Amino acid sequence: MKIRILKKQLKRRGLTINSLVHFWDEAQTELSNKRALHHEAPSAPSTHAYIYRSELDYISRCILDYKNIETGGQLFGYWTSEGSPVVVYAIGPGRNANHQVAFFNQDMDYLVTIGTILVRHYGLHHIGEWHSHHQLGLAHPSGHDASTMADTIRNKNLGRFLLCIGNCTEKESALNPFNFVQEYGYNYVKAQWRVYDIESPYRNLVDLELHDLLEHPKTPHARYNMTATPQTSGQAFTQDNHYWISKKENRLVLKNILDFLSSSPVNGICKVQMDENHHVHIFIKHDKAQEHIYFPKEFPLMAPISTRDGNEISDYTWDFNGDILKAFINYYKSFNHYDGR
């Protein structure tokens, strides 16, 4: 009905729907040409990130507090007119943060309490976050990190965000900045630090005024080597030296398993949890179902134990020949019927 009225009205003006579509296309082309001329196209992630020396020190001490598990926090500051982040004040983990081998979740009460004050009272912006891949041998965002970051930026319409990844050895830490821009999705840019070699004007002020609320690192002195590449050879660290992720290289395998589960064809939302025996559980939510994968004591000699929507899965293949990731991917595909991809 409405289309007919529209057609009638157009006809009176000597127009048709086709001519309207053509006009729209032309207008769009003109707009994009204009954008190109006036540099209005969405700008790519900045290749720089600014930070005050005091904040690098602070994060270094936080990283060195947890040399074998993940830790993290949030970054506050502002953006330059060129779209580079300026880190003015960093926080570390709250008391109830969840530190695990392959993931970190901030204490949300802590973040909300401190973050609100930093934004409302001190006029800073929540510009990014940081977490440490400790000695995992991964000095950049994991695939899971990148997709989580891109999704969060899109869902919350943040525009841009800074993710810093920390690493450490037994002696020193490193921190690398990665800039994300909404229009560029997962295509983040590894940025170069520009360090203001002074104490942030906010560090002492906020530390003093929020004295009763803040949690600070226990490590007394920052020690970093920003060019340090994390070592990948390793020694055992958990209580159960025989459990698979007590080997350092297998912690990287766990990361890769998570990357696989959160990317195509699975596209799952993954959560990792360690139980009281420090055994790994992965919870996956994707469009087809909710799954739970448990890695038993005997893994990888024995297959993982999985359930889908609460029902134990029995029609799987487990063919382990020394490559855990490969065996896992084939295992997962065998009961999800993904064809060879």
Q: How far is the CB of 178 from Zn ion (least distance, A)?
A: 11
Rank residues 124 and 138 by Cβ distance to Zn ion and give the closer one.
Answer: 138
Tokens at residue 307, please? 């359930």
Let me know: does 293 contact 277? Beta carbons within 8 Å: no
Let me know: does 174 contact 225? Beta carbons within 8 Å: yes
Instruction: Choose the stretch contacting Zn ion; rule: CB under 5 A; options: 26-34, 139-147, 177-185, 286-294.
Output: 139-147
Task: Determine if 145 is a binding residue for Zn ion (CB under 5 A).
Answer: yes
Q: Where are the beta strands (DSSP E) in the chain?
A: 48-52, 72-79, 85-90, 98-99, 104-105, 125-132, 160-168, 173-181, 189-190, 192-196, 269-274, 280-285, 290-294, 305-308, 311-312
Let me know: does 167 contact 173? Beta carbons within 8 Å: yes
Rank residues 65 and 70 by Cβ distance to Zn ion and give the closer one.
Answer: 70
Cα gap 117→234, rounded to integer Å: 41
Q: How far is the CB of 203 from Zn ion (least distance, A)?
A: 26
Rank residues 124 and 175 by Cβ distance to Zn ion and give the closer one.
Answer: 175
Q: How far is the CB of 133 from Zn ion (least distance, A)?
A: 6
Q: How far is the CB of 52 from Zn ion (least distance, A)?
A: 24
The Cα-based distances of 37 to 23, 129, 182 in angstroms read 21, 34, 22
Rank residues 142 and 173 by Cβ distance to Zn ion and give the closer one.
Answer: 142
Instruction: Choose the stretch contacting Zn ion; rule: CB under 5 A; options: 115-123, 140-148, 204-212, 213-221.
Output: 140-148
Instruction: Choose the stretch contacting Zn ion; rule: CB under 5 A; options: 39-47, 134-142, 286-294, 316-324.
Output: 134-142
Evaluated on CA atoms 45, 196, 119, 65, the torsion sign reads positive
Instruction: Choose the stretch contacting Zn ion; rule: CB under 5 A; options: 44-52, 114-122, 136-144, 313-321.
Output: 136-144
Residues making up the chain, counted from first to last: 341
Task: Determine if 55 is a binding residue for Zn ion (CB under 5 A).
Answer: no
Rank residues 147 and 306 by Cβ distance to Zn ion and give the closer one.
Answer: 147
Let me know: does 71 contact 132? Beta carbons within 8 Å: yes
Q: How far is the CB of 146 from Zn ion (least distance, A)?
A: 9
- What residues make contact with Zn ion under the rule CB under 5 A? 142, 145
